[in-house]
């Protein structure tokens, strides 16, 4: 049990030595760590770790190496990862069948398995260490601190990385001094709105009540977003510490984690971290010998996107239907069970220990004038380096997409990047050199959101993109307010007509009018931002809408009603493989042709064709194309 600051200092010092010895190899062992994030676990990293233990035992070298699962490495498109300390050698795309070779060559003989090293696509050179890969060079880990380094299920490793140093400092300050420190850091909410975190804390601190609450919003619902999940999976104690500092600052004794049930690994590790903190005396009564008492609880969300809105989230925690309510009163005045409550995003709370540990000035030294610190992005879509990245505010979109993301695959042309998920908008190549921060993205017609960043290339239809996000919004609308419930449905119907070649010019006017109406009159941010993908694509890609309406053409060949599959007779040899793979039986062979009885080309019946693409996959001669 850790009952005082002195005991905490002693424990941290011992754990720091142990972790440092492990990383530096001072304990005389090799240490094998594997990515234990959801993505790599789905690619068998747990089975790979078990195989390492099995092979080490079979080779008689189990006493020379340890095997450990850590948090997400971030570079998802290259996982599963295996890193070996103290050399810091990084292997990527590791499979179970690679384990024996790694043990025999690297662990037993000190030879690097070069075929498993990352190859720089620009130079063709093999890279041995993680920090030398371009994907990592421009990153700075604050919210992701400890992820990919420590075992998230071992409190000692978290303490070795400085866990609870921020809380220790906070408890030596007055509550107002802690709030002032957070205000001075300039940190703004990472959940989407970008509201200054310190101001929210100040409102709750000023509210008079015997009971107050802190809520961590882990209901990450944006398509393609996995920032919060990875933080909770990689360093849950960091978020717990942030919640405790927030609780001390406003005078709360209880905190609630609201995490979607689709994140079982994050929830499991969070439960372990809470239990270990309680057993260590770092959660509960009179923490570190002070009069501060605090405990954490977990509530699981059922997957409703609208529960990311703070008042809907609070209703869900209280067992009510997850629907937003009008504000004011704001939760900082009347929130959970009508008591003052602050709701902070996972990433926001993960930044708080850093601010208290390193100081507000250190945090504020990074970023732009109005957007301080770093931001975590889930970089996905048509980009070579898919993964989780944390970059200083002010980093340009070009740096994010090309330097860190490695550019667009297959030499395709960049078309747009969707930031902010369904609530955001699309930014085109003319904005590539714009700095990323809260206010600048809004000024350019998009938003930061929680941090989703989906890259699109020339093969994406922007009308279809708008339709995709509107389908999502329609599914996730709680239906409480009429503008959102009905307005989003009408907008989806219009977009569907346009993608089916049935649109008219009047539809564009109706979309514009509906967008304004839904934005102005919806109850919560889901409806107020629902039309953003439509307005941004209409602004930047109006020509594509006009092509769909006037020419009945989809230039990206995505909208099925506006394209045909055609076989080029000059390329087709009549082998019939396309016909064998066709589920609709719409491909037929022509008669034999003279001279020499050469097979004529195959033909597709457009009336029967499902446009599923099976024929294109089956053809070895690139004879089938979309028109």
Q: What's the CATH number where 79 sits?
A: 3.40.30.10
Q: Is the pLDDT of residue 314 over 80?
A: yes
Same domain, 161 and 307: yes
593 pLDDT more than 80: no
- The CATH number for 541's domain is 1.20.1440.230
CATH number, domain with residue 390:
3.10.20.600
Residue-number span of the structural domain to which 385 is assigned? 374-457
For residue 336, name the pLDDT band (cuts at 50, 70, 90): very high
21 within some domain: no
The answer to whether residue 596 scores a pLDDT higher than 60 is no
Let me know whether 417 and 466 are in one domain: no
Highest-scoring range by mean pLDDT, 221-235, 279-293, 435-449: 279-293
Are 485 and 440 members of one domain? no
Between CA 184 and CA 205 the distance in angstroms is 17
Question: pLDDT digits over 478-487, tens only?
Answer: 999 999 999 9
Considering the domain boundaries, does residue 259 fall inside one?
Answer: yes
| Cα(263)–Cα(301) distance, integer angstroms | 10
Q: Are residues 395 and 419 in the same domain?
A: yes
Task: Note whether residue 56 is domain-resident.
Answer: yes
CA distance 152 to 269: 7
Concatenating the DSSP letter of every residue in 44-110 gives THHHHHHHHHHHHHHTT-GGGEEEEEES--S-GGG-S-EEEETTTEEE-S--GGGHHHHIIIIIHH-
**Same domain? 250 vs 340:** yes
Specify whether the CB–CB gap between 137 and 166 falls below 8 A.
Answer: no
Instruction: Give pLDDT, residue 600.
Output: 67
Rounded Cα distance between 519 and 529, Å, is: 6
Q: Where is 570: in which H helix or E strand?
A: none
302: buried, middle or exposed (CB in 10 Å: 19+, 13-18, 0-12)? exposed
Q: Is 291 found in the same domain as 163?
A: yes
Position 601 confidence tier, pLDDT thresholds 50, 70, 90:
confident
Q: Are residues 418 and 516 in the same domain?
A: no
- Residue 594 is predicted with a pLDDT of 47
pLDDT on residue 598: 52
Last residue within a domain, chosen from 364, 399, 432: 364
Binned at pLDDT 50, 70 and 90, residue 223 comes out as: confident
Residue 557 within any structural domain of the chain: no
Between 597 and 204, name the one with better pLDDT. Answer: 204
pLDDT digits (tens, 9 = 90+) for 402-436: 999 999 999 999 999 999 888 889 999 999 999 99
Same domain for 598 and 493: no
Mean pLDDT taken over the chain: 93
Instruction: Compute CA distances 192 → 380, 488, 525, 535, whole Å.
Output: 18, 21, 10, 19
Distances in Å between the alpha carbon of 418 and those of 151, 222, 257, 473? 33, 12, 28, 15
**Residue 346 in domain:** yes
Both structure tokens of 216: 């961590």
Whether 196 and 330 share a structural domain: yes
Same domain, 575 and 521: no
Average pLDDT for residues 432-456, to the nearest whole number?
90
Same domain, 310 and 351: yes
Token reading at 222: 């944006």
The confidence band for 563, taking pLDDT boundaries of 50, 70 and 90, is confident
Specify if 559 maps to a domain: no
Note whether residue 533 is domain-resident.
Answer: yes
Q: Are 261 and 300 in contact (CB under 8 A)?
A: yes
Of 394, 422, 457, which residue sits at a domain end?
Answer: 457
87 pLDDT more than 70: yes
Give CA angle at 157 (153, 162), nearest 5°. 125
Give the CATH number for residue 607: 3.30.70.20
Q: What is the mean pLDDT of residues 53-62?
A: 96
Where does a domain end: 442, 457, 472?
457
pTM recorded for the entire structure: 0.93
**pLDDT confidence band for 591 (50 / 70 / 90):** low
Residue 135 confidence (pLDDT) above 80: yes
Per the structure, the count of domains in the chain is 5
563 CA to centre of own chain: 34
Percent of all residues in the chain with a pLDDT value above 90, rounded to a whole number: 81
**What per-residue confidence (pLDDT) applies to 36?**
95
Residue-wise pLDDT tens digits, 344-383: 999 999 999 999 999 999 999 999 999 999 999 999 999 9
Whether residue 11 is contained in a domain is answered as no
**Are 199 and 68 contained in the same domain?**
no
Task: Find tokens 């934005």 and name the residue.
Answer: 519
Structure tokens at 149: 């380094």
Question: How far apart, in whole angstroms, are the C-alpha atoms of residue 129 and residue 182?
Answer: 35
Q: What is the pLDDT of residue 446?
A: 87
Total residue length of the chain: 627
3-state secondary structure of 303: coil
């Amino acid at each position: 049990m850790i009952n005082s600051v002195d005991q905490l200092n002693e424990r941290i010092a011992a754990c720091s030595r142990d972790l440092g010895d492990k990383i530096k190899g001072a304990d005389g062992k090799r240490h094998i760590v594997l990515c234990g994030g959801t993505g790599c676990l789905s690619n068998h990293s747990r089975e790979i770790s078990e195989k390492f233990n099995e092979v080490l035992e079979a080779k008689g070298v189990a006493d020379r190496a340890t095997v450990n699962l850590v948090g997400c490495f971030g570079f998802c498109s290259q996982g599963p990862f295996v890193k070996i300390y103290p050399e810091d050698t990084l292997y990527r795309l590791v499979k179970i069948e690679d384990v024996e070779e790694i043990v025999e060559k690297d662990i037993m003989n000190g030879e690097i398995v070069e075929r498993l090293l990352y190859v720089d696509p620009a130079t063709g050179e093999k890279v041995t260490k993680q920090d030398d890969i371009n994907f990592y060079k421009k990153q700075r880990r604050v919210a992701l601190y400890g992820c990919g380094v420590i075992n998230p299920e071992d409190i000692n490793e978290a303490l070795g990385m400085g866990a609870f140093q921020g809380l220790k400092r906070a408890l030596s300050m007055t509550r107002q001094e802690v709030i002032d420190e957070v205000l001075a850091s300039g940190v703004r909410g990472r959940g989407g709105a970008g509201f200054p975190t310190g101001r929210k804390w100040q409102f709750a601190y000023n509210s008079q009540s015997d009971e107050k609450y802190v809520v961590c919003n882990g209901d990450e619902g944006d398509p393609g977003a996995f920032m919060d999940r990875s933080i909770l999976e990689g360093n849950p104690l960091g978020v717990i510490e942030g919640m405790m500092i927030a609780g001390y600052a406003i005078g709360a004794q209880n905190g609630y984690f609201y995490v979607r049930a689709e994140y079982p690994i994050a929830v499991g590790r969070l439960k372990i971290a809470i239990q270990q903190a309680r057993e260590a005396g770092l959660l509960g009564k009179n923490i570190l010998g002070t009069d501060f008492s605090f405990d954490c609880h977990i509530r699981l969300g059922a997957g409703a996107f609208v529960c990311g809105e703070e008042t809907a989230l609070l209703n869900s925690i209280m067992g009510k239907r997850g629907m937003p309510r009008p504000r004011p009163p704001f939760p900082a005045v009347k929130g959970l069970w009508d008591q003052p409550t602050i709701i902070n995003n996972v990433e926001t709370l993960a930044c708080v220990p850093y601010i208290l540990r390193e100081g507000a000035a250190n945090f504020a030294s990074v970023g732009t004038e109005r957007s301080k610190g770093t931001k975590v992005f889930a970089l996905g879509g048509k980009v070579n380096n898919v993964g989780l990245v944390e970059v200083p505010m002010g980093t340009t979109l070009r740096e994010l997409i090309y330097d860190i993301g490695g550019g667009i695959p297959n030499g395709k042309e960049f078309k747009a990047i969707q930031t902010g998920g369904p609530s955001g908008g699309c930014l085109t190549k003319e904005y590539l050199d714009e700095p990323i921060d809260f206010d600048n993205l809004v000024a350019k017609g998009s938003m930061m959101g929680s941090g989703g960043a989906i890259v699109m290339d020339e093969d994406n239809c922007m009308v279809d993109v708008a339709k995709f996000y509107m389908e999502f919004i329609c599914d996730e609308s709680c239906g409480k307010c009429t503008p959102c419930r009905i307005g989003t449905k009408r907008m989806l119907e219009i977009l569907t007509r346009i993608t089916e070649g049935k649109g008219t010019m009047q539809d564009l006017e109706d979309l514009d009018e509906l967008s304004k109406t839904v934005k102005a009159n919806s109850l919560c941010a889901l409806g107020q931002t629902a039309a953003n993908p439509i307005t941004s694509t209409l602004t930047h890609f109006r020509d594509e809408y006009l092509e769909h309406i006037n020419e009945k053409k989809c230039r990206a060949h995505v909208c099925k009603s506006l394209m045909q599959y055609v076989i080029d007779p000059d390329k087709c040899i009549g082998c019939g493989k396309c016909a064998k793979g066709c589920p609709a039986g719409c491909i037929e062979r022509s008669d034999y042709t003279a001279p020499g009885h050469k097979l004529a080309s195959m033909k597709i019946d457009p009336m029967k064709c499902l446009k599923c693409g099976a024929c294109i996959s089956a053809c070895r001669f690139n004879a089938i194309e979309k028109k």
